[in-house]
Amino acid sequence: MKRLLFIGLLASQWAYANPMILTTEDAPPTNFTTDGGKTIIGSATEQIHELFKRAEIPYTIKMYPWQRAIDMAEQEKNTCVYSTTRTEDREKKFLWVGPVAPNDWVLFALADSKIELKTLDDARKYKVGGYRGDAVAEYLEAQKFKLDNATNDEQSLKKLMAGGIDIWATGILAGPWTAKKQNAKIKLLLNFKKTELYLACNLGVPQATIDKLNATLAGMAKDGTTAKINKKYQ
């Protein structure tokens, strides 16, 4: 028992001595860059900074295209990715910290569109677009939707504005934020799934670290820090 405890302590000390690598993507308002790409900010990023500060765990944040960001977290030790949805397919591939933010999955159209939806199936007769590797798109493809996927939300919105797609599938936070940035007027057609965003960590991250992060995050929610940060980006 003492030997196992000693090994566990060594693992924890190693993890803290080597800063955790946190990967993310450019997906406002939860994570995006400012200052010409020099600084990563956003609602989830602010929560991550506060979370790791309180937990006293050293870390670095690096931004990549989404598929690379999530692949790194799955394949490389001491690495986590945010903000990601905790799907059935991803559940056993990672250790989970969160939730860090709500992120219902929704369908948007241009504000002057005459499209009306009562159910998700009603959208099947229209051209629907999302972006590759995104949980929203993966869910719809699993439901046998044929999607016109782009590389990110901004490109999907541009397709919508140009008439390349009729409906844009995205998250409830990202949609309005991206539309505002591009001066686009959109309307909500359907909120089809309640979801939340998480920090997903490589299976090699010590369970003690995951437990500490979850306990610290719960404290942030309890003292109002989480709500205060999210409100800034609404």
Report pLDDT for 172: 93
d(CA 226, CA 234): 13
Report pLDDT for 230: 86
What pTM was computed for the model? 0.78
Query: Which residues make Cβ contacts (< 8 Å) with residue 219, sequence separation at least 6?
Result: 54
Average pLDDT over residues 58-70: 96
Instruction: For the chain, give the mean pLDDT.
Output: 92
Q: How confident is the model at residue 114 (pLDDT cuts 50, 70, 90)?
A: very high
**pLDDT per residue over 148-196, tens digit each?**
999 999 999 999 999 999 999 999 999 999 999 999 999 999 999 999 9
Report pLDDT for 3: 47
Burial 29-61 (b: 16+ CB within 10 A, else e): bbbbbeeeeeebbbbbbbbbebbbebbebebeb
**pLDDT per residue over 118-160, tens digit each?**
999 999 999 999 999 899 999 999 999 999 999 999 999 999 9
Check: CB of residue 130 under 8 Å from CB of residue 136.
yes
Answer yes or no: is pLDDT of 35 > 90: no
Report pLDDT for 16: 58
Calculate what percentage of the chain has a pLDDT beyond 90.
84
Answer yes or no: is pLDDT of 5 > 50: no
Report pLDDT for 6: 44
The domain spans of the chain are 2-102+195-232, 105-193
Q: Which of 8-12, 105-109, 145-149, 157-161 has the lowest mean pLDDT?
A: 8-12
CATH topology of domain 105-193: D-Maltodextrin-Binding Protein; domain 2 (3.40.190)
Q: How confident is the model at residue 45 (pLDDT cuts 50, 70, 90)?
A: very high
Q: Per the CATH hierarchy, to which homologous superfamily does domain 2-102+195-232 belong?
A: Periplasmic binding protein-like II (3.40.190.10)
Domains 2-102+195-232 and 105-193 share a fold: yes
Check: CB of residue 72 under 8 Å from CB of residue 21.
yes
